[in-house]
Chain A
């Protein structure tokens, strides 16, 4: 797992408290609106996203940039760069 800190994103998908598998649907829609090279930030409290998002990136040819754990708020921030 790659970790990042204070990473700047171009758009955010706030999925905190929203239920699985929404973490695999809403980011896909938001990615369509991004340009190549732009980064999507995914906020989630769902542990399963830590495996699912990198796996989705690999399968779909997008770059998984890394994860930032927000321990204070008990959420994860995952970053995905649009490659195509």
Chain B
């Protein structure tokens, strides 16, 4: 059976070139980069070359990057580390209501264990945060604002530079979770005007267990993982050299593809979105219609459960998600959909398709052939649908 994988926000295959670049660093070139002899210093040099590539991808300086184990770790360091480093100035942080759990729960950690006050910034029906609303919540005690660049559940891309500039004018540190955008669209830390930015390796075709944090030069943050001199004393633990080499290679590939990839993905997405809205009645297209990730299409199918639809689709070889991979297992109404005002009964029918450069038109046509049938079948069993049709 044909397999159409449209859940690239959850996981991606490691790219062939990335795997090839990594392989020597598992068993042939294995020295510790902190070792003083040549085997170690050679690996250290390779490590620094990867740092330059990741920095180049986002327009940063090479000394403004630390490698992490994931985007989630980068988010944890940014939120906890920057807030704690500024605790003498104030104990108020703002995070948007549609952040990833690694930001939301880091903020809750600060609230519970360190006496911070946390504001969960409301967003509009598209998931956009506004400068006006943000400024209403800023206080003299605010030390950090974290608003994600692209949302993994509804695809909306925020106007980060406007939000960040408003904070910078007040001396407040600004972090953005750019896991969904780096490699998907051009991202430049200077244009965004951010102090901290998180990115993830798997989003670029690097292996799981890789990520990075950008921090503006001179910005202080309290480390999350205490250790020694690794990452210039900012993150302990011997570096994941094979993973970092993979991340560097993936960054290099992303730089070369950024001029063509977004347009290609947008074309596929538009075909998918228009096909679904044309063929299936009572569907809500969530997120912003234009300001969104090029390969992201998210919907709520009325009167059915998203989980049931995923199951039906997987029988046709189609793989998608109901939302973020970690939240969808909890069978809880997505906080992101609640935050943008989607009614809970409609939010139950959430399905998210995230595309990659490996998808093609034929695959989208396959989805457009199978999806309407699956939706119709599920609705034929649905008492909610029957009630709706009778009304």
Interface residues of A (CB under 8 A from B): 14-22, 25-26, 72-74
Chain B contributes a number of interface residues (CB within 8 A of A) equal to 16
Q: With the chains together, A17 CA to B203 CA distance in Å?
A: 30
Closest chain A residue, CB of each to CB of B226: A19
CB of A30, distance to nearest CB on chain B (Å): 13
Is there an interface contact between B222 and A22, defined as CB atoms closer than 8 Å? no
| Interface assignment of B221: CB less than 8 Å from any CB of chain A | yes
Knowing that A14-B220, A19-B226 are A-B contacts, what are 11 other residue pairs whose CB atoms are under 8 Å apart, sorted by A's residue number? A14-B218, A15-B233, A17-B221, A18-B232, A19-B227, A19-B228, A21-B228, A22-B232, A25-B229, A26-B232, A26-B233
Do the beta carbons of B234 and A18 come within 8 Å of each other?
A: yes
Instruction: Determine whether the beta carbon of A22 is less than 8 Å from that of B85.
Output: no
A-B contact pairs, 12 of them (CB 8 A): A14-B218, A14-B220, A16-B85, A16-B220, A17-B220, A17-B222, A18-B223, A18-B234, A19-B236, A21-B228, A21-B229, A72-B88
Shortest Cβ distance from residue B87 to the other chain A in the assembled complex, whole angstroms? 10
CA distance A17 to B227 in the complex (A): 12
Contacts of B227 in A (CB 8 A): 19
Give Cα A10–Cα B24 distance, bound, in whole angstroms.
44
The residue of chain B having its C-beta at the shortest distance from the C-beta of A15 within the complex is: B233
- With a cutoff of 8 Å between Cβ atoms, the chain A residues found around residue B233 in the complex are 15, 18-20, 22, 26
Chain B positions within 8 Å of A20 at CB level: 228, 233
Please measure, in the bound complex, the distance between the C-alpha atom of A78 and the C-alpha atom of B233, giving whole angstroms: 18
Closest CB of chain B to A26's CB: distance in Å?
A: 7
How many whole Å from A40's CB to the nearest CB in chain B? 16
